[in-house]
Amino acid sequence: MRRIIVLNTKGGCGKTTVATNLASLYAARGFRTALYDYDPQASSTSWLEIRPTERPPIYGVAAFRGAALGLTRSWQIRVPADTQRLIIDTPASLGKPELLEQIRGVDMILVPLAPSAIDIRAATGFIRDLIAANKSIRARIGIVANRVREHSLGLQSLQTFLDQVEVPLVTRLRDCQNYLIAADQGLGVHELGAHRARFDLPHWNRLLDWLETPAAAAPRPAPAQPQLLHA
C-alpha cells in the first residue's frame, strides 16, 4: 500500500481539494483507494458522504474521531487489506510533534500552496520544519500550486520561493469554479465530464505521473533552508 499525505499547517490552502480529487482519480484508474480524514472540520468525510454510489468507490475513515468504546485506535482507523493507495487529509496548525507523527510511515508528501504573499510567508517555517522532520523518514516531497492564475505576481513570487527551498513544483491547479462544482457533488474535477475538465485533467495527470514514478527515476532534491520572502 502506498501512503500519500496532503499536508500544510496553514488553513485554506486546498488540502481537502487535493486529497479528494486525488482519491477519486486513483479510484477511477482502478486502484483500491482509501481516504483518511484527520481534520475535525470533516470536509473529506462530508464529501465522501455525498459521493454518488455509481462512481468508483473510495473507502473512508473519519480518523479525527476518537475510538468508540471497546475499540482500539488501530481498529478504528483500519482500511481493507487490499487497499493500494491511501490518501491522508490533515488539519491545519499542526505542531512539530504532530507533524512528525503524521508523516511517519508515508511514502509521499504533497504540500498545497496558494500563490499569495501570506501563504508563501506562512509556508517558509513549515517547509523548514517538514524537511527536518522528513530526514529520518525520507518520503518524497512535492508542492502543488493551488488556485493559480497564470502570469500573476503571486505566481512569480511562488516560483522565487520554490527556487529557494529546492522542493519540486509537481503541478498547478487552476483558480476556477470546477473545483467548487465537483466538491458540491462528491466528485473529482475529472468526473465532471471531458469537456468541462479538459483544462484541469492534464494537471492531475502530471501529479499522478509524479506520484507513480519510482523514486530512483526522480531523485530527491537536497534539503535547503527556506528564507522568508517579503511582500
- pLDDT tens for the chain, 231 residues: list them: 999 999 998 888 999 999 999 999 999 999 999 999 999 999 999 999 999 999 999 999 999 987 666 677 787 889 999 999 999 999 988 888 888 889 999 999 999 999 888 888 888 888 988 998 999 899 999 999 999 887 777 777 888 888 888 789 999 999 999 999 999 999 999 999 989 999 999 999 999 999 999 764 544 443 333 333 332
> What are the φ and ψ backbone dihedral angles of 18, each rounded to 5 degrees?
-65, -45
Q: What is the pTM of this model?
A: 0.88
Q: How far apart are CA 114 and CA 97, in angstroms?
A: 25
Q: How far apart are CA 167 and CA 129, in angstroms?
A: 13
Q: How far apart are CA 210 and CA 168, in angstroms?
A: 10
Domain segments of the chain as ranges: 2-213
Q: How far apart are CA 78 and CA 98, in angstroms?
A: 20
Q: Which CATH superfamily is domain 2-213 in?
A: P-loop containing nucleotide triphosphate hydrolases (3.40.50.300)
Q: How far apart are CA 91 and CA 38, in angstroms?
A: 6
Q: How far apart are CA 92 and CA 113, in angstroms?
A: 13
